Structure 1
């Protein structure tokens, strides 16, 4: 790859939209957003949030292959708070990028920030600048006959983007868990989609014939259990199941980063 697949961006909040009791959409804008390239329907990026009292997040001065090591060397009480999110949508006229935040009170810095975000607030992104950027998981093979999707509320924005972009008539079975009845948002799609808002239905649902492809996202232990069910009980090929732990119960992203760094240094 001839260039870094990601770049630092420093947008401001343009507006905030109420999606559901648990989902709040933060729309980011600024001319530099025109440089963000989404490589797929569940495109990941990093957000960096300021600490209370800061006007903007503190980041390394230069983006290169060593940026993460330099970010880790900064004082944790000063450096930008890093979290991973999916892109809900990118538009070019005007340049805007949507991120849907799952709110859970003041239990985490991202939820706390999103609850109080106002137009003009600043944050930073490490976002893709080329389509081939390694931050996309939803990649059904060409011989896929039908698609299975699962998500909790943290992965619902990515699932909604996937559903909305599937070709007309694509057979889809989706199983979604949300904490509030009003989180059962509309999911426009031209696919032939059957949607259940009870994830437990996955274990008893009838599936279409043909070759499946499954995309599972949400709490890490839950998606691992769903994968085991599909492979062991439903006969899915392991290669036909993509699963992503968007979060882990009882563990923060900071904990996961520290554990990964310790393992790499061992």
Structure 2
């Protein structure tokens, strides 16, 4: 199975909250079966300064060959990569929607999104079933008494697609940390859904969500927890769930999407590497994308 590599062109840009832009792209090539599952990772390729569009790696037969082709591009021309979650694909078309968290003109993704306009072009690697979660949330929900999805605004696209895929009759709780009340979004699910919005109101990223878990009284029964967002917060919340709440490690799907004061271009820390090793030991790569940086 090859990993799709294609250009995408902006069709529309819409602010869905003051700090979130939803960008609709038209892909030059996109298989009919791609992008229909929830929590689908992809990578966007951003042009270097002075480029009108990025230089893309040549498609490869080897699923991971694209990355070697990417590294073969001269560094001065090599596009900047950022991971995202596909928010939606319009049925019967090659149009996709991706949400960008606007946190200032401090990174290639957010800076690009602030100025994005119809006709702008990026590159896209994926999405692909190669990076689908090893245990779909709907399957996990069927085996659990309840599910809990938690994260910050970068996790909202994945959370929204997962909620939409949950079956009727299940119980789902959602805890989301956002900057303030204006960042709330409408979430839909066939499951019995309870959503708790947590507002930073100037606090450091991840602190409000972490404190909510430390103070929480979770429902009884067997849970399944999906957790994503700022890496340090994800790590602290997972530790709390295991050590203080007694949730088995196998019942927690966790991903650090971004690191406070660091970018994807910075080297991983020892804790980052330990987290990655634990995820690899648990099964195939299920790292999702996000909506930022």
Pairwise same-fold verdict (TM > 0.5): yes
Q: Distance in 2 between matches of 1:78 and 1:257?
A: 23
2:99 is aligned to 100
State which drifts further: 74-83 or 208-217: 74-83
Give deviations 1:78-97, integer Å, cap 9, x for gaps: 21111111010112333211
Contact 1:171 1:193 (C-alpha < 8 Å) held by counterparts: yes
1:42 is aligned to 39
1:184 is aligned to 184
Give deviations 1:72-118, integer Å, cap 9, x for gaps: 23333321111111010112333211110111111100001111111
Q: Distance in 2 between matches of 1:84 and 1:178?
A: 20
SS of residue in 1 equivalent to 2:14: strand
Q: Distance in 2 between matches of 1:74 and 1:239?
A: 40
With the length of structure 1 as denominator, give the TM-score of the two structures.
Answer: 0.87
| Corresponding position: 1:231 with 2:230 | no
Cα distance change, pair 154–100 in 1 and its aligned pair in 2 (3 A) = same
| Corresponding position: 1:120 with 2:131 | no
Contact 2:7 2:28 (C-alpha < 8 Å) held by counterparts: no
With the length of structure 2 as denominator, give the TM-score of the two structures.
Answer: 0.80
Cα distance change, pair 111–161 in 1 and its aligned pair in 2 (3 A) = same
Contact 1:18 1:25 (C-alpha < 8 Å) held by counterparts: yes
Alignment gaps of 5+ in structure 1 = 261-266
Aligned residues: 255
Alignment gaps of 5+ in structure 2 = 199-208, 273-293
Give deviations 1:117-137, integer Å, cap 9, x for gaps: 1111111111135x3x12436
Cα distance change, pair 218–53 in 1 and its aligned pair in 2 (3 A) = same
Q: Distance in 2 between matches of 1:257 and 1:78?
A: 23
